[in-house]
Chains A and B, each alone.
Chain A
Amino acid sequence: MNLDTALWTAALFAALLRATAPVLLAALGGLVSERAGVVNVALEGLMLIAAFFGVMGSAWAAAAWPGVPVVWQAAAGAGLGLLAAVALALLLGFFHLELGADLIVTGIGINMLAAGLSVFLMVLWTGDKGSTAHLASLALPSLPLPGLDGWPLLAAFANGDSGRGHHVLVWLALLAVPAVYGLLQRTRLGLRLRAVGEDAEAAAAAGLSVKRLQYTALACSGLLAGLGGLYLSMGYLVLFQADMTAGRGFLALAAVFLGARRPLGTAAAALLFGAAAVLAAQLGARALPSQLVYMLPPLVTLLALVAFKLQARARRRRRAAAALAAWRTTSTTNSA
């Protein structure tokens, strides 16, 4: 591979990571709550509210503490965004667990609340209705991996084609995959969360506090979806736009189901959605009508949902056939 092709591939790879990161983070959040038996339809709203408060928080921090390094101002904004997302996730939990509201409908309500509140507060605080373009908000930094000077090929992939490194939240999204896998599969908390999701009554009988565990799972999903939202407004773009999540939270939910409710499967599904978005952008650059290009990611999702289901069905059928064959051989040996 010569260096030009390598750089082009690296640029594509960076674009793939950029498109994947927000969906991946939110999907992992959705996975944690789904495994704990509280499906989180509000990922979209949680991303949106974090994106909004991240922008506002960073602008406020920059105005309030002008002497502080920019990174810390941005981090303060990000912290506020995460706080807002977690609070909203807990509100979802409160309505479902305490007030007995249907989880899915409440999730839809929380999405509406986030969409309304973000625009309402944006008008109130900035005077703008479409976006916060006139507000001096901050971005979270990109982090290059040091020590790759001798390997230009490796550097191009690890630090992007520009060499400035990938966004800190892209790195975090990549790290979140093993982290969530470890949390769910290798820790006591993860075991308990899965136990609650598998059978809440049995878990309660075993002495687990179902409510507290489900609140914990929702808070986790708020945190991860919030990180995904922050990437949109403090990385991908450096401003907040009304409805800037544009369905990514729902794609994240789709990734959880597409990935058969497993961390690696969810990550693979998120990557597939990211690839579809990149492909759409690439085709768009080749003068295909933009409307057809925009149809691509949803069509890929629909086809993938059907294909994966067919595959799972075939696998189940094979397994059943194998079990039947095994039973037949044992029963014939027994009778013989």
Chain B
Amino acid sequence: MNGPMTRALLAVGLALAVAFALMCAISAEPVQALRQLLTGALPEPHWSADTGWTLRRLTRFGAVIEKTITLTLLGLAVMFGFRARQFSIGADGQFFLSALAAVAVSVWLPPLGGLELLLAGAAAVAVGFVWGLLPGLLKAEFDANEIVTTLMLNVVAVQAFRYIVTHGFNDPAAGFLVTPTVPAGATLAAIVPRTQISAFVLAVPLATLAAAWLLRRTTLGYEIRVVGDAPAFARQAGLPVKRAVALSMALGGAFAGLAGLHASNALLHRLPADLQPGIGFEGLVVALLARNQPAAVPVAALLYAFLEAGAQAMERSTDVSREMVLVIQALIVLFVVAERLWPAGWVRRKAAI
């Protein structure tokens, strides 16, 4: 009941139960809808006399893994701020600007035999770091509410992205507003047929380990955790609170930068001017779902991506729209953050009877 894992499973189960009750109320085929939601993302083994056993729906499952990579990195990004009790929701802006930086570096550099990919990654991480440091400094130096500043900086970043792609950095031959394409030498090739899954999938364990190491084994990580768990103690003990606050958000930005690199150099290869914002908020859900534990972030990301793909399958084959999954996600967050599942007074009253 009290283990974080059990708690998270309970929250997911409860949210799915509420969702199923909703489906029963609105749908003619609630059981089919739930089945699609839970299994629609899986590849389907298929047997035929000609080809033997093959896996169908690989593209769909590939999308789940691709999304898991992105969300793991963004979840880790949000987690760093949250561990210092900084509710920074700036991952969106960091993601946009660092993806753009990665494309720009990839396009401008001459072929360097794979080195350009590293440089593009460095640019993406640096841009994410700086765009995360900005609200961090605003909070540390000017006590500016980080929820407000990161939201404002998101708008600035997305509009700057659109301005740059619209008025300069675009491919006139493309027929629509889009950045030039990343040259083949700077891209990551897919390693699973019919998907975009690349070697970047290794970033999931590596980034998770790096985040856990940073938090658990470094002085800065210790400071971030103390500032988050016991701010008054941190101040009294003379810890560099301001530095921890600012760097927690900046480190988060660096991880968001990796997500940007994944989007630009592995998934999309060129960025349209009307790239939709909002992915940062999905990273926030993942961080909350993982209760800010680095090791739990990839699991939460997988669950999120899995439910999302399932919801699309559900919408295609039943009468329940995929927006149902938004409600489920919100319910999961609410149930995960609740300390208990019924008011404390009720238990006492029952015990008294």
A residues with a Cβ closer than 8 A to B are: 41, 95, 98-102, 104-106, 108-110, 112-113, 115-117, 119-120, 123-124, 129, 247, 250, 253-254, 257, 289, 291-292, 294-295, 297-299, 301-302, 305-306, 309-310
Contacts and interface: CB of A to CB of B under 8 A. Distances in A.
Interface stretch (B95-103, B125-133, B245-253, B333-341): B333-341
Contacts of A120: 321, 323-324, 326-327
Interface residues of B, number: 46
Interface string B141-182: 011110111011101100110110011000000000000000
Most buried by A among B143, B284, B327, B340: B327
B203 to A, nearest CB: 26
B200 to A, nearest CB: 28
B353 interface: no
Contacts of A99: 338-343
B201 interface: no
Given A105-B288, A124-B26, A289 B153 contact: no
B285 interface: yes
Contacts of A110: 330, 334
Contact of A113 (B153, B330, B338, B340): B330
B338 to A, nearest CB: 4
Contacts of A109: 288, 330, 333-334, 337
A124 B326 CA distance: 14
6 contacts: A99-B339, A101-B337, A109-B337, A112-B329, A120-B327, A305-B149
Interface of B: 26, 87, 89, 138, 142-145, 147-149, 151-153, 155-156, 159-160, 162-163, 166-167, 281, 284-285, 288, 321, 323-327, 329-331, 333-334, 337-345
Contact of B333 (A112, A129, A299): A112
B148 A301 contact: yes
The dominant DSSP class at the B interface is helix
Given A108-B89, A291-B159, 14 more contacts: A41-B147, A95-B338, A98-B343, A108-B288, A119-B326, A253-B148, A257-B145, A257-B148, A291-B162, A295-B155, A301-B152, A302-B144, A302-B149, A302-B156
A119 B323 contact: yes
Contacts of B341: 99
